[in-house]
């Protein structure tokens, strides 16, 4: 009834005589039908064309494109499954066994890690399929799904691409998004600390090839899984929208991505050529959510009764909260994004720790303490953390222990 109500949003845009509409980075941002509706009503959709979006939506279509471009993909099913009957479930079972457990069930219409479920054996597959079908139907209007091999001990790397209407296509380097819980990112940084120049360039070329093959216009993100042990990488997914974490690239590359989006939509050329884009300022982004990390990221909606935000050199905050703000239970729990940059990664880490220590949010639980503990971890400091970092390094247990100490100190 709110942010997914295409008719109402379009009605408001027409009534206000809006020339253009920016969809942000959620809800309808990757909805090709909504982009098409805007186009038909003469409203500029600040993003890719609906034609481009249809090429990679549902998500399994992107896998097929990567194979055509000879870009390695994670082992999985190339065609989606839907309307699962007993006979069709046997096909899902066969696919999972062929791929090899553990597998991950992904909604075809999904993104941002939403609705994905791991099945470690055949017994878990039944419930996983039921959940993903239902979640896909409710969240994306698409009940279909596909099956992929679950890769562990990998880095989640994504390459930011910009393309204008004049044939100019550039990348803005990569982001390391490997600190995740339930397949959703919590800490992002740019650049990645352990990629070799050769592998980094191969990823850049692959991402640019995708943009060219799609005849893409505007901001595009191509996600990869990098396997440090074998020095290989695999395509994960394409995001035909602005990413939540785009801001960390803005800091590292000193490029205003949203400004470029608007310029591109207006028919302007890119403000930069490839040689002018350099990641000169190591940057880190911490997502501050209304969750309790002590209870394994349990959602904690409620009212913010007191708010103090950090400031200073190299610190940026993107927020929409204030004292008295009520975090609703029906939407994403993200409160704000806390970003820093430094002349070196070490400086950026110190700056982030200082900023986290100065931030105070009262009235609801947040994951500030989680970030403080995670950034102190030696594996994270080395840059060698992978997507199983939280589990592998017992970060939740360390957060619980730190919380106990703080409670004792506070009671004295």
The span from the CA of 342 to the CA of 279, in Å, is 11
The secondary structure of residue 114, as a DSSP letter, is: T
On whether the CB atoms of residues 53 and 128 are closer than 8 A, the answer is no
The span from the CA of 371 to the CA of 377, in Å, is 10
The span from the CA of 340 to the CA of 347, in Å, is 9
**Can you name the residues that pair with 232 across neighbouring β-strands?**
227
On whether the CB atoms of residues 317 and 335 are closer than 8 A, the answer is no
The span from the CA of 226 to the CA of 194, in Å, is 10
Give the helix/strand (H/E) hosting 150: none
The secondary structure of residue 43, as a DSSP letter, is: P
The span from the CA of 115 to the CA of 136, in Å, is 7
Angle at 158 between CA 221 and CA 369, to 5 degrees: 115
Residue 171 in tokens: 């990348």
- Nearest Cα neighbor of 263 from 163, 160, 170 is 163
402: annotated active-site residue: no
The span from the CA of 84 to the CA of 143, in Å, is 10
The span from the CA of 131 to the CA of 110, in Å, is 13
The span from the CA of 165 to the CA of 157, in Å, is 27
**Can you name the residues that pair with 149 across neighbouring β-strands?**
103
The stretches of 141-232 forming alpha helices (DSSP H) are 197-214
Q: Which residue is catalytic, options 63, 135, 175, 241?
A: 241
Cβ neighbours, 10 Å, residue 196: 9
| Strand, coil or helix: 271 | coil
On whether the CB atoms of residues 31 and 5 are closer than 8 A, the answer is no
The span from the CA of 308 to the CA of 161, in Å, is 35
**Can you name the residues that pair with 291 across neighbouring β-strands?**
299
Residue 69 in tokens: 């471009």
Q: Which residues participate in catalysis according to the annotation? A: 241
């Amino acid at each position: 009834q709110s942010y997914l109500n295409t008719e109402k949003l379009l009605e408001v845009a027409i009534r206000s005589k809006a020339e253009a509409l920016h969809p942000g980075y959620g809800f309808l941002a990757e909805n090709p039908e909504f982009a098409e509706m805007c186009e038909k009503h003469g409203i500029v959709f600040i993003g890719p064309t609906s034609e481009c979006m249809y090429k990679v939506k549902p998500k399994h279509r992107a896998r097929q494109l990567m194979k055509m471009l000879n870009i390695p993909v994670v082992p999985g099913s190339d065609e989606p499954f839907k309307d699962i009957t007993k006979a069709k479930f046997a096909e899902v079972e066969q696919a999972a066994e062929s791929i090899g457990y553990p597998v991950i069930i992904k909604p075809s219409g999904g993104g941002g890690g939403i609705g994905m479920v791991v099945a470690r054996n055949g017994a878990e597959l039944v419930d996983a399929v039921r959940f993903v079908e239902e979640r896909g139907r409710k969240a994306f209007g698409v009940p279909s799904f596909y099956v992929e091999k679950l890769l562990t001990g990998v880095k989640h790397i994504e390459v930011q691409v910009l393309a204008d209407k004049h044939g100019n296509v550039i990348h803005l380097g990569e982001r390391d998004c490997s600190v995740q819980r339930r397949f959703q990112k919590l800490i992002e940084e740019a650049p990645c600390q352990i990629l070799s120049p050769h592998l980094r360039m191969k990823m850049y070329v692959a991402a640019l090839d995708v943009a060219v093959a799609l005849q893409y216009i505007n901001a595009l993100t191509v996600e990869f899984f990098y396997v440090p042990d074998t020095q290989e990488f695999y395509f994960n997914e394409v995001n035909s929208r602005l990413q939540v974490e785009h801001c960390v690239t803005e800091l590292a590359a000193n490029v205003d991505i949203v400004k470029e989006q608007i310029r591109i939509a207006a028919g302007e050329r890119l403000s930069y050529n490839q040689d002018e884009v350099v990641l000169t300022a190591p940057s880190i982004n911490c997502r501050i959510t209304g969750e309790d990390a002590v209870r394994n990221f349990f959602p904690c909606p409620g009212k913010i009764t007191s708010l103090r935000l950090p400031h200073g050199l190299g610190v940026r905050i993107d927020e929409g909260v204030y004292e008295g703000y009520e975090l609703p239970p029906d939407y994403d729990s993200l409160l704000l994004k806390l970003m820093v940059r430094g002349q070196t990664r070490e400086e950026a880490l110190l700056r982030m720790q200082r900023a986290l220590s100065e931030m105070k949010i009262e009235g609801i639980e947040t994951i500030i303490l989680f970030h403080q503990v995670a950034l102190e971890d030696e594996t994270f400091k080395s840059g060698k953390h992978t997507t199983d970092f939280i589990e592998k390094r017992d970060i939740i247990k360390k957060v619980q222990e730190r919380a106990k100490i703080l409670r004792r100190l506070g009671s004295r």
